[in-house]
């Protein structure tokens, strides 16, 4: 699909705060089904990049398109095409996983029957026994699975993830990698902002390293071993 009709396209995007660039001339593209890991230390510009794509901030210059629609000119069309899983997925704690899926799907204009919701939650990795449990007792990983089910129900073209493995143990992080592969297998483009190198070569097709808002390194993950990735990352952020 890339480069003719990418799901996500950023062209020379710049955003400054108090005269300091948080994102500086950033350009990247994602195709359908592609997982891209945006790496960098805290303050590198990863979350600002996500906020610009989501329309929470407006770029000083440059353009952002999702599914061919401009984020600043047609925000309603853009929001209909993407889903966002923040570091902590917020659900209604008094509702079950299935009830949360029903509620958020209705907000997005989709009405699902119980069987459809059960299939989506199962596909997202939530055990059947947890479908009817109140989400107040869910772990972070379980909340992420409900969030993914909501994105699947929405049939989003683009999934944005902000530090998704933060606070997860090894088992939950492994499960998360499978969630990302599920989304990719459904044809979603996935942009994952993270500073966790351990999952990148396992789940992403491509990666880029941000330093002070600039994309200073980009590679296909198949070309890098975990050791190569770590060495390249440390070299780029120290330059």
CATH number for 180:
3.40.50.300
Q: Are 70 and 237 in contact (CB under 8 A)?
A: no
Q: pTM to 2 decimals?
A: 0.89
Does residue 111 form part of some domain? no
Does residue 164 form part of some domain? yes
pLDDT computed for residue 4 by the predictor: 56
How far is residue 122 from each of residues 142, 145, 149, 220, measured CA to CA in Å?
11, 9, 8, 31
Average confidence score pLDDT of the chain: 91
Alpha helices in 65-198 (DSSP H): 75-81, 97-107, 114-123, 140-154, 170-185
Does residue 3 form part of some domain? no
pLDDT per residue over 139-195, tens digit each?
988 998 998 899 888 888 999 999 887 777 888 888 888 888 888 988 999 999 988
Does residue 14 form part of some domain? yes
Does residue 134 form part of some domain? no
Query: Is pLDDT at 131 greater than 80 in this prediction?
Result: yes
Does residue 104 form part of some domain? no
Domain containing 213 equals 8-90+157-238
Q: Are 9 and 65 in contact (CB under 8 A)?
A: yes
Query: Is pLDDT at 3 greater than 60 in this prediction?
Result: no
Look at the chain and report how many structural domains it folds into: 1
Neighbours of 222 (CB within 10 A): 9
Does residue 62 form part of some domain? yes
Work out the percent of the chain whose per-residue pLDDT is above 90.
62
pLDDT per residue over 55-111, tens digit each?
999 999 999 999 999 999 999 889 889 999 888 889 999 999 999 999 999 988 889
Does residue 135 form part of some domain? no
pLDDT computed for residue 165 by the predictor: 79
């Amino acid at each position: 699909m890339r480069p003719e009709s990418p799901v996500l396209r950023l062209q020379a995007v710049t955003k400054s705060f108090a005269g300091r660039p948080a994102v500086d001339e950033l350009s990247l593209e994602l195709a359908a089904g592609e997982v891209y890991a945006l790496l960098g230390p805290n303050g590198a510009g990863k979350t600002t990049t996500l906020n610009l794509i989501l329309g929470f901030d407006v770029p000083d210059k440059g353009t952002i398109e999702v599914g061919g629609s401009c984020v600043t000119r047609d925000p309603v069309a853009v929001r209909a095409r993407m889903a966002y899983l923040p570091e902590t997925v917020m659900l209604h704690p008094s509702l079950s996983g299935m009830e949360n899926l029903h509620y958020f799907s209705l907000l997005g204009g989709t009405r699902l029957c119980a069987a459809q919701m059960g299939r989506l939650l199962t596909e997202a990795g939530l055990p059947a026994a947890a479908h009817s449990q109140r989400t107040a007792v869910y772990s972070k990983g379980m909340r992420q699975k409900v969030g993914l089910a909501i994105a699947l129900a929405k049939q989003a073209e683009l999934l944005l993830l902000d530090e998704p493995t933060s606070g997860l143990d090894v088992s939950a992080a492994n499960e998360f990698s499978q969630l990302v592969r599920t989304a990719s297998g459904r044809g979603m483009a996935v942009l994952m902002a993270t500073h966790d190198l351990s999952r990148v070569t396992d789940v992403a097709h491509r990666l880029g390293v941000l330093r002070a808002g600039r994309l200073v390194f980009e590679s296909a993950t198949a070309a890098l071993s975990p050791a190569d990735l770590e060495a390249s990352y440390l070299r780029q952020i120290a330059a």
